[in-house]
Amino acid sequence: GAVVSQHPSRVICKSGTSVKIECRSLDFQATTMFWYRQFPKQSLMLMATSNEGSKATYEQGVEKDKFLINHASLTLSTLTVTSAHPEDSSFYICSARSWDRGRNQPQHFGDGTRLSIL
């Protein structure tokens, strides 16, 4: 159980393009979804937290107009990188967690999206 699907796994596109990444919880309802970014040889860095039906909470230094997050249902969150530039090239990964047995359950991760902007 606790499967999180992330799509696409890899994107290569031209500078100025907007890219949408989907994150789905396949077998549970995700009350909260998280978006992380990872640069080479660094740890996962939290970008934003989104709860279903409400606006995402962004971490300091993350541009909300650049990284649009939508969490319209309990099983789907999307991250759109708007007008992407080469410096946005990175590994983006989502996670999802449910509320069960009276507490938040551990986050379960998708397989990530490698974004390359030419």
Partner 1 sequence: DQQVKQNSPSLSVQEGRISILNCDYTNSMFDYFLWYKKYPAEGPTFLISISSIKDKNEDGRFTVFLNKSAKHLSLHIVPSQPGDSAVYFCAAAVNEKLTFGTGTRLTIIP
Which range binds partner 1 by CB under 8 A, 13-21, 37-45, 65-73, 77-85? 37-45
Question: How far is Cα 88 from Cα 85, in angstroms, rounded to an integer?
Answer: 5
State the nearest-atom distance from the C-beta of 109 to partner 1, in Å: 4
Q: Specify the DSSP class assigned to residue 59.
A: P
Q: Report the residue from 37, 110, 115, 117 that binds partner 1 according to the rule CB under 8 A.
A: 110
Looking only at the bridges linking them, the beta strands covering 90-97 and 99-100 are unpaired
- The secondary element (H helix, E strand) that includes residue 58 is strand 57-58
d(CA 65, CA 24): 22
Paired strand residues for 36: 46, 93
Name the one range near partner 1 by CB under 8 A: 11-19, 40-48, 62-70, 72-80: 40-48
Q: Which is nearer to partner 1, 45 or 72 (CB)?
A: 45
The residue (of 18 and 42) whose beta carbon lies closer to partner 1 is 42
Which residues lie near partner 1 (CB under 8 A)?
2, 4, 6, 9, 32, 34, 41-46, 49, 93, 95, 104, 106-112
